[in-house]
Amino acid sequence: MKTKTILLAMGFMIEGLSAPRASNMLILESSENRVHLLELFSTESCSSCPPADQWMGSLRRSPGLWKSFVPVVAHVHYWDYLGWKDPFSSPENTARQKAYVATWKGGYAYTPNFVLDGADWRGQRLRDLSESSQKVGVLKATQTGTSSYQIEFHPSSGIAKSYQVHGSLLGNGIEVDVRRGENAGKKLKHHFLTLDHQTNSMSPSAKGSFFAKLNFNATRDARAESMSIAFWVSEAGNPRPLQAVGADLERGSK
């Protein structure tokens, strides 16, 4: 399985493919095989979280990044009372974690919480992130403006009645000096950190495909060394991701 990642900007392509120079729009397209979505629900407020964040950051060196798996880190807000209000935490991130937890038998919300393809993932086994042979469909994201994207999903089989698309703008290399709370005195560095998250319902076409638009509130964060982007699709009413696609938005990401 190969995830195609194409950045048309002054003739530069992320995957090294040739392209015309007429456009500077980003085009992401998965293969039909499933690309894993690896999420980490974390926070700067909890002393147990920095090692998990560091492990996620180490995945920037993985050859499977954006090809066999897409990583996303989301900071929850329910530990903010411990003396440090995480500037990246949000109730929306907490709600997404709790939507997963509701699908787990006897599950509960905690941090750090790894979620792989919608399931509670405690093993951190890199082999779980390897290339999948499961055919789920092609997910394509085409940039149509500075912060807007057209999303298409072409399911392989078992078409559901409705789908949702999710998109996260991610910051890499963001450093924070924590002054209070359980991590007081530590300098924390974040990768794949959710800075903006958007969700939208997808509309069906006569040919069995599904379409939606996503508009982000920002395109760049001054605190980040580089930016990435991730998209995934799920059945409406079920948070479990079916297919994912993502990429670094800038060359030389650290």
The answer to whether 143 and 23 have CB atoms below 8 angstroms apart is no
Domain that holds residue 209: 24-248
Domain count, the chain: 1
pLDDT of residue 34: 97
Whether a cis peptide bond, with omega within 30° of 0, leads into 112 is yes
- Listed in sequence order, the DSSP H helices in 179-231 are none
pLDDT of residue 16: 29
Query: Residue 5: inside a domain, yes or no?
Result: no
Query: Residue 1: inside a domain, yes or no?
Result: no
Torsion of CA 79, 80, 84, 86, to 10 degrees: 100
Q: What are phi and psi of 49, to 5 degrees?
A: -85, -35
Specify the CATH number for the domain of residue 192: 2.60.40.10
Tokens of 241: 């991701």
Query: Residue 8: inside a domain, yes or no?
Result: no
Q: Digits of tens for pLDDT over the chain (254 positions)?
A: 444 443 333 232 333 222 333 357 899 999 999 999 999 999 999 999 999 999 999 999 999 999 999 999 999 999 999 999 999 999 999 999 999 999 999 889 999 999 999 999 997 788 899 999 999 999 999 999 999 999 999 999 877 789 999 999 999 999 999 999 999 999 999 999 999 999 999 999 878 899 999 999 988 889 999 999 999 999 999 999 999 999 999 753 34
Query: Residue 18: inside a domain, yes or no?
Result: no
Query: Residue 218: inside a domain, yes or no?
Result: yes
pLDDT of residue 208: 87
Query: Residue 196: inside a domain, yes or no?
Result: yes
Query: Residue 14: inside a domain, yes or no?
Result: no
What is the CA 17 to chain-centroid distance, rounded?
24
- Listed in sequence order, the DSSP H helices in 46-163 are 49-58, 91-101
pLDDT of residue 126: 86
pLDDT of residue 206: 79
CA angle 225, 231, 236 (to 5 degrees): 145
